[in-house]
Amino acid sequence: MTAQPTPLPDLLTRWDVQQTAYIADRDRVYEVMFEVLTHLKPAEDLVVLDLACGPGAISGRLLELLPKARAVAVDVDPVLLAIGEGSLGEVDGRLRWVRADLRDPDWPEALGEDAGAFDAVLSSTALHWLDPAVLTATYRHALRLLRPDGVLLNADYLPHPQGSRLRAVSDAIALTRRERALAGGAESWESWWEAVRAEPALADALAERAALWPEGARDWTGASHRFHEAALLDAGFAEAGVVWQDLQERIVVGLR
């Protein structure tokens, strides 16, 4: 049977559900992220950079929570950007979508007038994809994109060091949780992408996406949480540390 097209907002809803198979308590992650953010930055009119935004999980939630805030959502994937933009839109001019590749050393130029004026750089489930050199460069760029009292929060797979027993046991428990979620009917990453491929409006974006990672799927490097903390300090953040953790899902914070 041929898969039927799915409207973009439904794909966004399904994205969120699909991601919970991989990040067990995903809503809690955003809750804690925004609690920490709003304690550190109590102003209502925050300007936020949603880094490697995908279809806009952070931006959508944050702009609903803070009706005077503004977000710039950046990603390289034309498919995820199209789904995000097609579902969330511009939220009364408070959300701007920007296509940029964090592997490009000049990516901050794509941000235009907001560069240097962000109160916060926020990211979820994304930066672990980056090579260590790109990751450290990204944190350096993030520091410069922030106002002097800005904050970075990265909610991500930030594992224990490679080869450690803690990493092995945490990965094993996470796998058991994922298998349980999928067995309980949660949608998988693969099945979500199948639905995307059935949507004719996304055909051009899919073709463009195919050229993004010519090296094909690769194992992520999975830089440890210690590496992230060290990279933030090395980039010039005054403080860096973990504020929340579930197994190896952590929120690391950098204070400028």
Ligand X SMILES: C[S@@+](CC[C@H](N)C(=O)[O-])C[C@H]1O[C@@H](n2cnc3c(N)ncnc32)[C@H](O)[C@@H]1O
Cα–Cα distance, 186 to 183 (Å, whole number): 7
**How many CB atoms within 10 Å of residue 255?**
15
Would you count residue 95 as binding ligand X (CB under 6 A)?
Answer: no
Tell me: does residue 251 bind ligand X (CB under 6 A).
no
Phi, psi angle pair for 168, to nearest 5°:
-60, -45
DSSP 94-159: TEEEEE--TTSTTGGGGGGGGTT-EEEEEEES-GGGS-HHHHHHHHHHHHHHEEEEEEEEEEEE-P
Residue type, 4: Q
Q: Is 5 helix (H, G, I), strand (E, B) or coil?
A: coil
- Judged by CB under 6 A, does residue 124 bind ligand X? yes
Give the interface segment with ligand X, choosing from 97-105, 111-119, 139-147, 197-205 (CB under 6 A). Answer: 97-105
Q: In this chain, which stretch among 112-120, 124-132, 141-149, 193-201 interacts with ligand X, using CB under 6 A? A: 124-132
Q: Where are the alpha helices (DSSP H) in the chain?
A: 8-20, 26-40, 57-65, 78-88, 132-145, 165-183, 189-197, 203-209, 225-235
Least distance between ligand X and beta carbon 4 (Å): 24
Among 129, 140, 221, 241, binds ligand X (CB under 6 A): 129
Residue 36 sits in the site that holds ligand X (CB under 6 A):
no
| 220 C-beta neighbours (distance < 10 Å), count | 12
Regarding 156 and contact with ligand X (CB under 6 A), the answer is no
Window contacting ligand X (CB under 6 A); options: 38-46, 61-69, 120-128, 198-206: 120-128
Cα-Cα end-to-end distance for the chain: 54
Q: Point out the residue whose Cβ comes nearest to ligand X.
A: 54
Residue 147 sits in the site that holds ligand X (CB under 6 A): no
Pick the closer one to ligand X by CB: 2 or 197. Answer: 197
Residue 181 contacts ligand X per CB under 6 A: no
Nearer to ligand X, 154 or 170 (CB): 154
CB of 17 to ligand X, least distance (A): 11
Give the binding site for ligand X (CB under 6 A). 19, 52-54, 57, 75-77, 80, 101-103, 124-126, 129
